[in-house]
Amino acid sequence: MIENVISKRYAEALSGSISDEGMLSRALENLKAFGDAFEADRQLEHFFSHPGISADKKSALVGELCDRLQTEGVVRNLLTLLTQRKKILFLNNIASYFEAVVDERLGQVRVHVTSAFPLTNENLDQLKTGLHRILGKTILIDASEDNSLIGGIQLRVGDQVADATIKNRLAILKRTIEKEEVV
């Protein structure tokens, strides 16, 4: 829980230090790339959490990773600060909060769409247009496939889910039938 409070503060501070909208997007990409490096190499997590490794070595590695990833100066400063304060392991949480702050500032919404079959560009454009009319914001779509849905789509916007899949309809029908049999 405290991790979330700390992460949110760092994300808001980073956002407050950036006035350019293009820089906001680049900073978000940098944070995600750095987080992906942690995901790809689990030894990084062990390295940064190990108390026997000096802060200088940890800072040097952050600098090297920032050079490789061509990280923006403000993000490099944040990562250095997180390393010094032993909060670098909060990076994924900070990136999540920062993404929410960036989306709010840029007037955009991220929508995760899961469908049984691949959606065409035309389908995605129609979905973006419809959601833009409803939400009044720029829509960023992340699409994936799940054959177990049988048909239809599932939309996830933040913590809200709209499920119009055949699998969900069959589950509702099954519960209704089971309820009637019990009564």
Q: Give the CATH number of domain 2-104.
A: 1.10.520
Joined together, the tokens standing for residue 72 give 């923006």
Per-run averaged pLDDT (10 residues), the chain, 183 residues: 92 95 95 91 92 94 93 95 94 95 96 95 96 95 94 93 94 91 67
Residue 182, pLDDT score: 67
Joined together, the tokens standing for residue 171 give 């589950």
Residue 135, pLDDT score: 92
Q: Report the run of H or E that residue 47 belongs to, with start and end.
A: helix 42-49
Residue 42, pLDDT score: 87
Residue 38, pLDDT score: 87
Cα–Cα distance for residue pair 75/107, rounded to 1 Å: 22
Tell me the CA end-to-end span of the chain in Å, nearest whole number. Answer: 43
User: What is the domain partition of the chain in residue ranges?
Assistant: 2-104, 107-182
Residue 84, pLDDT score: 94
List pLDDT tens digits, range 110-120. 999 999 999 99
Residue 183, pLDDT score: 61
By the 8 A CB rule, do 167 and 148 touch? yes
List pLDDT tens digits, range 42-74. 899 999 999 999 999 999 999 999 999 999 999
Residue 168, pLDDT score: 93
Residue 180, pLDDT score: 84
Residue 166, pLDDT score: 93
